[in-house]
Amino acid sequence: MTLAMKKTTIVSAIILYFTVAVQIFNYVFMMSQTVIDELFHIPQGLQYCNLNFTYWDEKITTLPGLYLISTLVIGPFLECSIYLLRFTNLLASCVNIYLINSIVLKTQKNYDFKTIVQVMNIALLPPLFFFSNLYYTDTLSLTFVLLFINSYLEKGRYIALVLYGQFAIIVRQTNVIWVALCLGNALADLLVQSYIENRNSHLPKTSSKGKDKSNKPKMIKNVMIYNFSDLSSAITFHIQSNFHFVLRSMTFVRFCEILAMVSVMIGFMIFVLINGSVVVGDKSAHTASVHIPQLFYFTLFYGFFSIPFVLRNVLSVLRTLIKNKLKILLVLAVCLVIVRFNTLIHPYLLADNRHYTFYIWNKFYGKYWFAKYVVVPVYVFLGFSIYENVKSSTSAGFIIPFLVCLFASVALQKMIEVRYFFIPYVILKMRFAEPSWTTVVVDFIINTIVSYITFNIFFTKEIIWSDFNDIQRLIW
């Protein structure tokens, strides 16, 4: 498939997506014009759209990126309205498809019509697609994270890295984590590449038999693939050589990329020092809490929305678990202890019956004392399933920073929200090993069915709150 065909195909897919999505969007708008947190976002967005930048609702905890972008998109051309504010996110969802395609094109060895379906499956993650019909920060937040990652993979785009990194944070502060992911990956790649280029020169002058002549890590498009042993050896080598060879191997392009990402990180730290917290506005409902079981819930999220990817590796995962049964028993024991002593329950989880998590918790996890323990083996299995899906298509220099960033993004949140999982899930799924036609078709069918069911529930199930005039509806 030529580059022109690739562009034509993805643009055609986006047009088809938009044609269908706008019909759903219009029906969502007809059924409800204020959904839960839109109670805060919409008035704020309307104020900014009408160029009133002095107004700020203290209940809002994110920076004003969503409202600023809405103003830029709508303000100069059209009259501000709730419909157009929401429409900003629908347009952003189209941009996300293009960006996911661009990233997959840079990281996946083969690219064909199957890849287009794979890209659409990632973008059509049912909860993410749902929120593209509302005025929340999630869709646009993903847009700027994807813009940043795409610029990082293109190499040499220093100004773009700074701008997209800053805008990603302005839309949602926690997006600094994904800047850190790319920075961690860049540093790991630098260490390994520098180690490979210089390891022999640091060895004692012996015969050529003593020289390390192992092959370089392989490259898949713009991604360097190497294992944990390579990274460990590189770190050991550079510690022993006082990191002398790192500077020798650092090119001007790589130095500027790292400097650009570091500058974004420093800017964020200055903001936190001045603000006194990552959160703006109402800090009381979003205090940081170490909540490790959120990582376990992320594996469930992966398992539910990636069923065909779980099934394609189920036998190899089981073989790995059986082969390492003593280690797995230890992992299970640690997970059980974590679940016992670190399961946190936010008051909103117990009180807000407008989210699926309310029913999952109150009908299962919170109803039976044993419920949270019996699921632990599932967490472990799905954790190994995730690794099985990425081990051949990415490197230790991605996996380790990703795990650290995943912890920072979800395990410091007390509240259980599926929206916290969107960005790490999308980043992870873009790194999955290339699927078969069966896998992508089944994935598409499942996404479609889940979206149909959840939209149908949204349209038909009415929830009455005594302190709200509008009918409330069930969302993710």
Angle ∠(448,461,17) on CA atoms, nearest 5: 25
Q: What's the pLDDT score for residue 205?
A: 44
> Quick one: pLDDT at residue 202?
59
One-letter amino acid for residue 148 of the chain: F
pLDDT digits (tens, 9 = 90+) for 313-372: 999 999 999 999 999 999 999 999 999 999 999 988 888 999 999 999 999 999 999 999
Q: For residue 113, what are its two tokens?
A: 């019509």
> Which residues of the chain, if any, have pLDDT below 50?
204-210, 213
Give the whole-angstrom CA distance, residue 43 versus residue 57. 9
Q: Tell me how far apart the alpha carbons of residues 136 and 281 are, in angstroms, rounded to a whole number.
A: 16
Residue 249, pLDDT score: 84
Selection from 379, 373, 371 nearest residue 317 by Cα: 379
Among 237, 119, 211, 193, smallest CA distance to 395 is for 193
Tokens for 298?
Answer: 């992320």
CA distance 374 to 193: 44
HEC profile for the chain? CCHHHHHHHHHHHHHHHHHHHHHHHHHHHHHCCCCCCHHHHHHHHHHHHCCCCCCCCCCCCCCCHHHHHHHHHHCCCCCCCHHHHHHHHHHHHHHHHHHHHHHHHHHCCCCCHHHHHHHHHHHCCHHHHHHCCCCCCHHHHHHHHHHHHHHHHHCCCHHHHHHHHHHHHHHCHHHHHHHHHHHHHHHHHHHHHHHHHHCHHHCCCCCHHHCCCCCCCEEECCEEECCHHHHHHHHHHHHHCCCHHHHHHCCHHHHHHHHHHHHHHHHHHHHHHHHCCCCCCCCHHHCCCCCCHHHHHHHHHHHHHCHHHHHHCHHHHHHHHHHCHHHHHHHHHHHHHHHHHHCCCCHHHHHCCCEHHHHHHHHHHCCCCCHHHHCHHHHHHHHHHHHHHHCCCCCHHHHHHHHHHHHHHHCCCCCCCHHHHHHHHHHHHCCCCCCCHHHHHHHHHHHHHHHHHHHHHHHHCEECCCCCCCCEECEC
Displacement of CA 304 from its chain's centroid (Å): 16
Summarised one tens digit per residue, pLDDT across range 132-157 is 999 999 999 999 999 999 999 998 89
- pLDDT given for residue 203 in this prediction: 53
Kindly report the length of the chain.
476
Q: Is 17 exposed, middle or buried (0-12, 13-18, 19+ CB in 10 A)?
A: middle
The two tokens of residue 449 are 């069915």
Q: How many CB atoms lie within 10 A of CB 157?
A: 19
Q: Cβ atoms within 10 A of the Cβ of 221, count?
A: 12
Is the CB of residue 376 less than 8 Å from the CB of residue 332? yes
- Answer yes or no: are the C-beta atoms of 9 and 116 closer than 8 Å: yes
Task: Choose among 442, 409, 447: nearest CA to 122.
Answer: 447
Pairing mode, if any, of strands 472-473 and 462-463?
Answer: antiparallel
- Radius of gyration (Cα) for the chain, nearest Å? 23
Task: Measure the CA–CA gap between 218 and 31, rounded to whole angstroms.
Answer: 52
pLDDT of 218 reads 78
Q: What are 71's two structure tokens?
A: 């103003």
Instruction: For residue 26, give Cα distances in angstroms to 13, 22, 31, 82, 134.
Output: 20, 6, 9, 12, 11
- Cβ(289)–Cβ(412) below 8 Å: yes
Contact call for residues 138 and 131 (beta carbons, < 8 A): yes
Q: Which residues, in sequence order, are bridge partners of residue 7?
A: none
